[in-house]
Structure 1
Amino acid sequence: MKIGFLVIDMQTIHLQGIDKQVIDKACEYINYVSDMFRSKDQVVIHIQDIEGITESSREAFSIIPEIHVMETDLILTKEYTNGFWKTELEQMLKEQGVDFLIISGNAAEYCVLSTYNGAIERGFSTVILQNGILSTHNDVITSTYRDRNIISYPAIKYLLNK
């Protein structure tokens, strides 16, 4: 079994309105899981929403420096909420042999859930990283954890060591 880890829209422009401490906590979980994935030669993919990007706004669309991006990571851009819609994500995952996905990032009620649903529609077993998603609305985080499949990093560690 190969596992893919998606880090969605962790970009300055999309994190406005979220408390810095909340962002830092999510980044800690995302980076920890990313490091576990890399150490086991699993796939880490950073997805960047570039809808509306201009030459003058390019820097605001960059992945925030708190998220560690390594040379072995894959990067994909998108223009829609669902990371699968009109992108090469499904093909990338199939080429890597991924059949199980863990999703993290921003914004829980939009891009995270759209990509989660898109993954399930395409036959991937999919879960959301506990403490690894963000939103400007705290109640959205609570309902996402209540209504979707989630996974903690100790469970990920166990899976990666199987």
Structure 2
Amino acid sequence: MVQQRVVMVVDMQLGVFATQRVARDICCQRINQLIDAAEQVIFIQHAEADMQPGTEAFEVLPELHQPTSALRVTKTACDAFWRTSLAQELEAAGITGFVVCGCATDYCVDATIKRAAGLGYRVTVAEDAHTTANRPAANAQVLIAHHNDVWRNFTVPGNPVLVQPVASILEQWAGA
């Protein structure tokens, strides 16, 4: 079976970006490049407090391309698999691997990547297409670099997490 070009976009929502995130514009540009080249797009949307389905805060950022064929999964935890239909949606679509991008690097993106790898999905992280906010313990750029390093070295025997820039992912997809 030929591997699909699938991108999972985590929590790129108006309510999430009510808190300033580093490099929003460039992150969105790179995510759009992945969306435009993908065969399947999956938007993961977080719901909590004032950020509920049907509210403006819940909506995906308007600058992101949103194909009508995109799958959408609503979550209530950092881990996009926790008590959601994500695994069932992936199975129904025959998806066994995907590229992950989005927000927030140190919370929802991290939790989803680690869970997906542990469940056996082939995960590629778009190392330059995820973002977060400055935190009390570290600024956003340090957190992003740290998590890229952690994911590169995350041990799941036989199923390493790949961490690559968007340009490399697109080049590989173009050659597939």
Using structure 1 for the length normalisation, give the TM-score. 0.88
1:130 Cα deviation from its structure 2 partner: 2.0
Give the counterpart of 1:127 among 83, 103, 124: 124
1:125 Cα deviation from its structure 2 partner: 1.2
Higher helix share: 1
1:127 Cα deviation from its structure 2 partner: 1.9
Partner of 1:33: 34
Provide Cα deviations, 1:66-85, integer angstroms capped at 9, x if missing partner: 11111011111111110011
- State percent identity of aligned pairs: 26
Partners of 1:155 and 1:96 in 2: how far apart? 25
What secondary structure is seen at the aligned counterpart in 2 of 1:92? helix
1:54 Cα deviation from its structure 2 partner: 6.4
Give the counterpart of 2:144 among 141, 145, 150: 141
Partner of 1:93: 90
Counterpart of 2:106, as a letter, is E
Does residue 22 of structure 1 match 2:23?
Answer: yes
Partner of 1:152: 165
Partners of 2:51 and 2:30 in 1: how far apart? 31
Provide Cα deviations, 1:29-52, integer angstroms capped at 9, x if missing partner: 000011011xxxx22101110122
* Structure 1 vs Structure 2 CA RMSD: 2.0
Using structure 2 for the length normalisation, give the TM-score. 0.82
Partners of 2:28 and 2:168 in 1: how far apart? 18
